[in-house]
Amino acid sequence: MDRTLQGVGVSHGVAVGEVRHMGTAVLEPPAKQITEEDAPREQQRSRQAVEAVANDLMARGNLAGGEAQAVLEAQAMMAQDPELVADVERRIAVGSSAERAVYDAFAAYRALLANAGEYLAGRVADLDDVRNRIVARLLGVPMPGVPDSDHPYVLVARDLAPADTALLDPALVLGFVTEEGGPTSHSAILARALGVPAVVALPGACAVAEGTVVAVDGSTGEITVAPSEAEQAALARLAAERKAALDSSKGPGATSDGHKVPLLANVGGPADVAAALEAGAEGVGLFRTEFLFLDDSAKAPSQEKQVSAYRQVLEAFPEGRVVVRVLDAGADKPLDFLTPGEEPNPALGVRGLRTLLDHPEVLRDQLGALAKAADGLPVYLEVMAPMVADRTDAKAFADACRAAGLRAKFGAMVEIPSAALRARSVLQEVEFLSLGTNDLAQYTFAADRQLGAVSRLQDPWQPALLDLVALAAEAAEAEGKSCGVCGEAAADPLLACVLTGLGVTSLSMGAASIPYVRATLAKHTLAQCERAASAARAADSAGDAQVAARAVLSGE
């Protein structure tokens, strides 16, 4: 095996430690037949196991809070999917044991998604994890998971399910490496939230033997197997230099020549506010409101509940900017009372603003709750719609905001290429744009954002994606309006400089990334950022774009 392995770095930091492997998957249960008389008992067993697993996932989400809570609540909903539950009970009725019925029903659903090429195919790791948890409970065996250890270690796995990633103890798990996943996978997002160095999409990672010392660089994606003392010392110096740079960088985001670039935080609810404040966030650039709606997929939360949650976040940033994204339901975030039961391709169907326009009462209640939550506060409230395709969408959203009596700026997320291409048209109806680079890449390259096999096309350094960012930023400048980035691209310090050079006016990211971005921006002038952006756009691949930008910014 090569001593140096290259994956995709998704969470900054350096970790050196012994490898510990994730527990093996649950074994396939035997194909045991049951009698007709036993079927009701087995069906009851399956229902109890499903309910127990769903409750455990919800409990883990409550413990983790923030973004992890929304992810785990969505996974709990997956466990209780009515079609899957019905299929399990049908299989039991014709003679399968509860555990075998669960295994086969999930296998059929898994194959269906993979063969159909649907958006949810990218969530196979989540689906497998739910299946394993239910089968393990039915078999009465422990669920394989994060290894027990008294000493810190580097966790290596084929992939990590959200339920495992969300509750990792940073005091024990120095970093993690996975064979699958991509920069926008759940594991990557949660790793950044935890501040744990992480590398994903590294083929052959599981071949590294248990107990082997490895060095993980979450910034470069490089893994060094059995590093020498000299190599470990060099990495320690690098980590110390990075920490010193972070500690010396304080205050608002800006380039070295004083060009201001507000650095904002992505939050999933009130639980994320403390980390954002500690990181020095200048406000919130993406307040995901889905966490409230995932508590009960059968109905919308009351307006009173919404007001309370929104106000907690707004109060944390007096006289700061808070950008709220209204409910983004559909595709991988289905809600029983909103989203269609069956669509051939949910990612290209009724999701985001389309869902809300089909259910205007839900949008009206949410906008009304935001108006009440902001009443009397000095906060600068901005509200944006997800999945805006054109001016017609933008106008419909702005009209709804005005009808709700909302005193705020109205904006549109640019996640669909058409919105970037026609950004000046969209800006006739709204006051700002916010680029969701994760979905924008997905729709630009027809590449599922959760599927490791197409992670190359999900790379935010892709020149075609940078072209779309530039189009949106140029349109906003021409209209005298703002254009921020709230996708995961903003969390890459080098790419943050390029985005600034493209004309982006603010950057929003997970709180853990803010110090890194602030420190890197402070080293470079706006002119350098602009030259780096031009060099990146002139490249023909994501890798070449990154190399070209780095060369400009390092003065090579």
What span, in angstroms and rounded, lies between the C-alpha atoms of 54 and 505?
Answer: 42
Who's near 257: CB < 8 A, 6+ residues apart? 525, 526, 527
What span, in angstroms and rounded, lies between the C-alpha atoms of 8 and 180?
Answer: 10
Q: Which of 12, 186, 359, 524 is catalytic?
A: 186
**Phi and psi at residue 251, in whole multiples of 5°?**
85, -170
Tell me the residue type at 490: A
Give the SS3 label for residue 25.
coil
Query: 186 an active-site residue?
Result: yes
What span, in angstroms and rounded, lies between the C-alpha atoms of 109 and 87?
Answer: 10
29 contacts 100 by C-beta, under 8 angstroms = yes
Half-sphere exposure of 492 (CA within 13 A, CB side): 23
What are 330's strand-pairing partners?
333
Which H helix or E strand runs over 73?
helix 66-79
Token pair of 249 as six digits: 């960088």
The answer to whether the Cα torsion of 340, 89, 23, 456 is positive or negative is negative
* Residue 104 C-alpha from the chain's centroid: 30
What are 382's strand-pairing partners?
323, 409
Maximal C-alpha separation, the chain: 79
Give the SS3 label for residue 344.
coil
465 contacts 458 by C-beta, under 8 angstroms = no
Strand order in the sheet with 173-178: 4-6, 222-225, 213-217, 14-21, 153-157, 173-178, 198-200, 8-11
* Residues recorded for the chain: 556
413 contacts 385 by C-beta, under 8 angstroms = yes
What span, in angstroms and rounded, lies between the C-alpha atoms of 45 and 547?
Answer: 56
Query: 151 an active-site residue?
Result: no
CA 330 to each of CA 78, 163, 346, 370: distance values in angstroms, whole numbers, following the listed order: 13, 22, 7, 22
Who's near 19: CB < 8 A, 6+ residues apart? 153, 154, 156, 208, 209, 210, 211, 212, 213, 214
Q: Which of 12, 359, 401, 486 is catalytic?
A: 486
Return the active site residues: 186, 486
